[in-house]
Amino acid sequence: MRLEHLRRARILRPDADDLRGPGSRPVAVSAETSSRAAVARLATAALVLSLAMTSVSVDPASSADSAWLPLSAERDVVPSDPLEKRGQEVFDQRCAACHGEIPRDVFGPRFLPPMPGTQALQARYRGELPAALEARTDLTPEFIAAVVRDGLRSMPFFRPTELSDDDLEALAAYLTRNRNGGGPN
């Protein structure tokens, strides 16, 4: 029983070993530290994808009406691949409120810094990697799945009723679109 809980704790926090509290040296988290469960999930998703081709979910948990943004995102560049295009929408609807671009010129009174996800990655990587997720070229689908479903530090995890497995698959396709050969865009 005890072992079961430890295993679960491991799944909940893929970086359980590399965060040693305040003052610890930031350690880049790679796909190798992600949980086996998430890898298995992606393998299943890949299988489903291979059978279903690039079909887009008919009942997405993430939708334009349920976006976690006050205004619709403005996009100059939209991927031509339908899965990546859907992934960009999921990113806007579910990720951009924390992982979007930090506004340069803040309007009005200040409370807490906007874009907590981008701020956190800026503090963590200190320029060694881009703070904006969309500019990353090192992310793997497995790692993205692990972070979304297991959470990471102060980022909570997300349920399938908020972000479905189809949404996750599309998001992973979008955030890894530049992985092979592309630089930050």
The torsion defined by the Cα of 87, 175, 172 and 146, in degrees rounded to 10, comes to: -130
78 binds another protein (CB under 8 A): no
Amino acid at 25: R
Nearer of residues 32 and 59 to another protein, judged by Cβ: 59
Nearer of residues 38 and 84 to another protein, judged by Cβ: 38
Cα 47 from Cα 25, distance rounded (Å)? 38
Contacts (Cβ under 8 Å, ≥6 apart) of 171: 87, 90, 91, 94, 95, 144, 148, 163
Cα 77 from Cα 85, distance rounded (Å)? 10
Closest approach of Cβ 43 to another protein, in Å? 12
Nearer of residues 81 and 162 to another protein, judged by Cβ: 162
Residues 144-163 that bind another protein (CB under 8 A): 149-151, 153-162
120 binds another protein (CB under 8 A): yes
8 binds another protein (CB under 8 A): yes
| CA 54 to chain centroid | 20
HSE of 21, CA atoms in CB hemisphere, 13 A: 0
Q: Which of 109, 127, 181, 183 binds another protein (CB under 8 A)?
A: 109
41 binds another protein (CB under 8 A): yes
Radius of gyration of the chain, Cα coordinates, nearest whole angstrom: 17
Total residues in contact with another protein, by rule CB under 8 A: 59
22 binds another protein (CB under 8 A): yes
Stretch that binds another protein, among 45-53, 58-66, 82-90, 133-141 (CB under 8 A): 58-66
